[in-house]
Amino acid sequence: MTDITAANNAYTNIFQMIETVDPRISHAIRQELTDQRDSLKLIASENYASLTTLLTMGNWLSDKYAEGTIGHRFYAGCRNIDTVEEIATEHAKTLFGADHAYVQPHSGIDANLVAYWAILSSRIETPTLNELHAKTVNDLSEADWGKLRHQLGNQRLMGMALDAGGHLTHGFRHNISGKMFEQRSYGTNPSSGLIDYGALAAAVKEFKPLILVAGYSAYPRRINFAWMREIADSVGATLLADIAHFAGLVAGKVFVGDENPVGLAQVVTTTTHKSLRGPHGGLVLCDQEYGEFVDKGCPMVLGGPLGHVMASKAIALAEARRPEFQMYAQAVADNAKALAAGLQRRGAKLVTDGTDNHLCLIDVATSYQLTGRQAESALLDAGIVTNRNSVPADINGAWYTSGVRIGTPALTSRGLTESDFDQTANLIDEVLRATKPVLGSNGGAHQAKYVIADGVAARVQAACNELLAEHPLYPELVV
């Protein structure tokens, strides 16, 4: 039996079993495959995992409780979970060249919470316990415990501003990280949109955070992590690198030297999906000094580890260690440059005037006189899936926004090339030029409603279908 036949048979059998319980679930899963096959997916944080990675999640490891970590569980009978977690950990350490890896986090926010609390435990809790000659927090008096809790809840964190490309988990008030820390954000140069390392160094020296976060979700450039470490060291801060978006470019050896945070940042967090092309989940990588604290993520922050997902992470990490993954990662970066250049040739304004990672950020307010919400919706009407995103000093706020973020990891997984991405740039430009805001009752432009010139959406959808037909998704599946 060929691999193609085996995969098709596996999914056919799975759907038949699901249908015996609730056909609506089977239909929704099948429809999702159809929708993904039929759309030009440019969401920078999405990708397509291999069928092997996906199938690995559907197993009875899901039935086992396994709080704790390898060899130190709160439940008996965890030897197979231990095996899976150990294999995934070894793949992560080898792939990234890390001293220590923790593969239990269920998501990126979980990975960041584990990292934050590991740093707090190492730098605040442990010295206090040593000073009080206490082995654990249970040995503290109520008064000493109250003082320690106050210390833990009043530390400082600095991360990139949301409108500059940062992430909610880097200290913003709507996220738990903003409620845990006294937080301050750093922005980018108003003219270039780039990180101003000199200004950042001055801000760090003035604020003196315990944790400096380096990383982004919508910044189209690379980070100099050696410089970030120097800035963190200047005030004794721990450098935490959140590489959730560009982990695949680190693993694929596109980001090397000062652009690779592993070995420069004391703690590195990431997701396992996005550019790494694995299942939804998270990882924490760190220096040995933080290893014992990171390993306490469950039950400190996390619920029981998901054994079936850790197994899937192991497969995805093993796939990422293959030479072809490095070719894929380089293609992601090359395709992003081609997409950016194609948009700029057609007159679009990009934040930072281009890209050297996996994403581009189109300033649609300046380029097309649209809000991000209008542009996102109009593109979706034409079969192009993106997401609206803030731009620096956004005039439309965080909900309507002035930008659209696009990325190349998913379509690169489908095999699209630089010429295909130039064609994609043309389709994006065609839709946005044909889209106009609806005027409100007061004569001003509506921030959500829009109209597209007759025939444009259908014409672009047809062109998308032709392009996608040349690069089918999971062609071996007929379900």
* Domains within the chain, CATH numbers bracketed: 61-320 (3.40.640.10), 334-469 (3.90.1150.10)
Rounded CA gap, 85 and 203, in Å? Answer: 40
Q: Which residue has the tokens 């926004």?
A: 401
Residue whose token pair is 């990708």: 47
- Predicted TM-score of the model (pTM): 0.95
Q: Is the dihedral of CA 168, 169, 170, 172 positive or negative?
A: positive
- What does the block give as tokens for 320? 């990422």
Q: What is the rounded distance in angstroms from the CA atom of residue 385 to the CA atom of residue 341?
A: 20
- 234 residue type, one letter: S
Whole-number Å distance between alpha carbons of 144 and 128? 9
Beta carbons of 15 and 58 less than 8 angstroms apart: no
pLDDT at 5: 79
Q: What Rg do the C-alpha atoms of the chain give, in angstroms?
A: 23
Size of the chain in residues: 479
- Name the residue type at position 441: S
What backbone torsions phi and psi does residue 289 show, to the nearest 5 degrees? -60, -25
Task: Please tell me the predicted confidence (pLDDT) of residue 1.
Answer: 37
Q: What angle do CA 217, 220, 221 make, to 5 degrees?
A: 110
* CA–CA gap between residue 192 and residue 30 (Å, rounded): 45
According to the model, what pLDDT value does residue 6 have?
A: 82
Is the peptide bond between 279 and the residue preceding it cis, with omega within 30 degrees of 0?
no
User: Who's near 112: CB < 8 A, 6+ residues apart?
Assistant: 169, 170, 177, 240, 242, 269
- Measure the CA–CA gap between 87 and 93, rounded to whole angstroms: 10
Burial pattern 245-258, b for ≥16 Cβ within 10 A else e, equals bbbbbbbbebbeee
- How high is the mean pLDDT in each 10-residue block of the chain (479 residues)? 72 91 95 95 96 94 94 94 98 98 96 97 96 95 96 95 86 85 94 96 98 96 98 98 97 98 98 96 97 94 94 98 98 98 98 97 97 98 96 93 98 98 98 94 88 96 97 89
Residue where the block lists tokens 């995103």: 389
pLDDT confidence of residue 173:
85
Cα 28 to Cα 52: distance, rounded to the nearest angstrom? 21
Kindly give the residue spans of alpha helices, DSSP state H, lying in 181-322. Answer: 197-207, 225-233, 247-251, 288-294, 297-300, 307-320
